[in-house]
């Protein structure tokens, strides 16, 4: 399916509020993971302002409650309702509890939470490498668990927040958990972000008959976010100096949330599925990482890679 052209006013500088201007989401229900800071908060704000009832799925429910209290003071009176649910993507039991507690249809699922460039090799309670376990497997378990609710919505959208960081590594199926190769925080992050894109490809193919669309995106280079809380900034500086890391122009959090909100709510992408977006448009393919500040690697949209990852992920979370 060819993607419709988004309006020329949608681009790198577009904000989430501009995307939902004129969009009515009353009667829709949404879940946004990692919604206690950064672009997660702005994603919630835009969806709720358009009328959606939004659940903030967060590890720290006190922080989530603080966000709800602040947004309720700032949002217009006709906005959707905000609630908080506990979700620790590293802890499979909390994912199962969140899924079990959900009742009724779910129209929008934004898999936004993530960790980035954890300096030391760390594992989740079930033994998975931390970034792959949190960024991909936790969201995989959540989305597949919520599939009946998504199917009941008759036209649900799943949004998978990836990153240009996927250019650092494809999914290394023979060593997902760094048990044989030396741990590297950047290839680990890259692998998890490639997995986020491949999840959208896999879900798009498997869930089409349920009326569910799934797309991935790069939000942009946003400084004001807790994503980098685990990063060694000296290591980042060295990496930048080496020329190994190229960064796109910076964005505000309001701009960073725009592509997530576009895929979650805009009628301009109705029916589009299995794609990777950035700056509110489909990304162009790139052939190599060197010098790239935009684009998507072919391996991140490869259907065979997506099918293999789906099978492996299903086995790991069951």
Q: Name which of 32, 43, 39, 85 is nearest 60 in CA terms.
A: 85
Q: Which one is catalytic: 178, 183, 189, 276? A: 189
Which residue is associated with the tokens 């497997």? Answer: 137
259-284 pLDDT, tens digit each: 999 999 999 999 999 999 999 999 99
One-letter-per-residue 3-state SS of the chain: CCCCCCCCCCCCCCCHHHHCCCCCCCCCEEEEECCCCHHHHHHHHHHHHCCCEEEEEECCHHHHHHHHHHHHHHCCCCCCCEEEEECCCCCHHHHHHHHHHCCCCCCEEEECCCCCCCCCCCECCCCCEHHHHHHHHHHHHHHHHCHHHHHHCCCCEEEEECCHHHHHCCCCHHHCCCCCCCCCHHHHHHHHHHHHHHHHHHHHHHCHHHCCEEEEEECCEECCCHHHHHCCHHHHHHHHHHCCCCCCCEECHHHHCHHHHHHHHCHHHCCCCCCEEECCEECCECCCCCCCCCCECHHHCCHHHHHHHHHHHHHHHC
74-108 pLDDT, tens digit each: 999 999 999 999 999 999 999 999 999 999 999 99
The answer to whether residues 193 and 163 touch, using CB atoms and an 8 Å cutoff, is yes
The answer to whether residues 187 and 239 touch, using CB atoms and an 8 Å cutoff, is no
Percentage of the chain modeled with pLDDT above 90: 86
5 pLDDT higher than 50:
no
Long-range contacts of 66-69 (CB under 8 A, 24+ apart): 66/36, 67/35, 67/36, 67/37, 67/41
Structure tokens given for 304: 């065979």
285-309 pLDDT, tens digit each: 999 988 889 999 999 999 999 999 9
160-188 pLDDT, tens digit each: 999 999 999 999 999 999 999 999 999 99
pLDDT number for residue 225: 53
189 is catalytic: yes
Q: For residue 41, how many C-alpha atoms fall within 13 Å in the half-sphere facing its CB?
A: 22
Structure tokens given for 144: 């597949």
Neighbours of 2 (CB within 10 A): 6
Q: Which residue has the higher pLDDT, 227 or 31?
A: 31
pLDDT number for residue 74: 98
pLDDT number for residue 140: 98
What is the C-alpha to C-alpha distance for residues 260 and 277, in angstroms, rounded to an integer? 9
Structure tokens given for 67: 């966000």
112-163 pLDDT, tens digit each: 999 998 999 999 999 999 999 999 999 999 999 999 999 999 999 999 999 9
């Amino acid at each position: 399916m060819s993607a419709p052209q988004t309006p020329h006013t949608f681009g790198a500088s577009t904000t989430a509020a501009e995307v939902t201007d004129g969009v009515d989401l009353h009667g829709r229900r949404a879940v946004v993971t990692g919604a206690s800071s950064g672009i997660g908060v702005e994603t919630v704000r835009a969806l709720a302002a358009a009328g959606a009832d939004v659940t903030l799925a967060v590890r720290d429910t006190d922080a989530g409650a603080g966000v709800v209290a602040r947004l309720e003071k700032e949002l217009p009176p006709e906005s959707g309702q905000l609630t908080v649910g506990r979700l620790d993507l590293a802890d499979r039991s909390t994912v199962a509890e969140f899924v079990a507690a959900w009742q009724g249809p779910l129209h929008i699922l934004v898999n936004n939470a993530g960790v980035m460039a954890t300096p030391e090799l760390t594992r989740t309670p079930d033994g998975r490498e931390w970034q792959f376990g949190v960024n991909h497997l936790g969201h995989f378990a959540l989305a597949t668990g919520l599939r009946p609710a998504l199917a009941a919505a008759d036209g649900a959208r799943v949004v998978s927040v990836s990153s240009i960081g996927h250019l650092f590594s494809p999914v290394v199926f023979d060593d997902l958990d760094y048990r044989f190769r030396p741990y590297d925080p950047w290839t680990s992050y890259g692998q998890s972000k490639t997995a986020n894109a491949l999840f959208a490809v896999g879900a798009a193919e498997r869930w089409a008959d349920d009326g569910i669309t799934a797309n991935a995106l790069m939000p942009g280079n946003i400084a004001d976010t807790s994503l980098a809380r685990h990063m060694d900034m000296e290591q980042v500086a060295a990496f930048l100096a080496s020329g190994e890391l190229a960064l796109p122009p910076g964005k505000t959090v309001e701009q960073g949330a725009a592509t997530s909100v576009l895929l979650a709510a805009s009628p301009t992408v109705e029916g589009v599925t299995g794609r990777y977006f950035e700056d509110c448009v489909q990304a162009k393919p790139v052939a190599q990482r060197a010098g790239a500040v935009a684009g998507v690697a072919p391996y991140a949209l490869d259907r065979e890679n997506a099918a293999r990852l789906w099978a492996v992920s299903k086995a790991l979370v069951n």
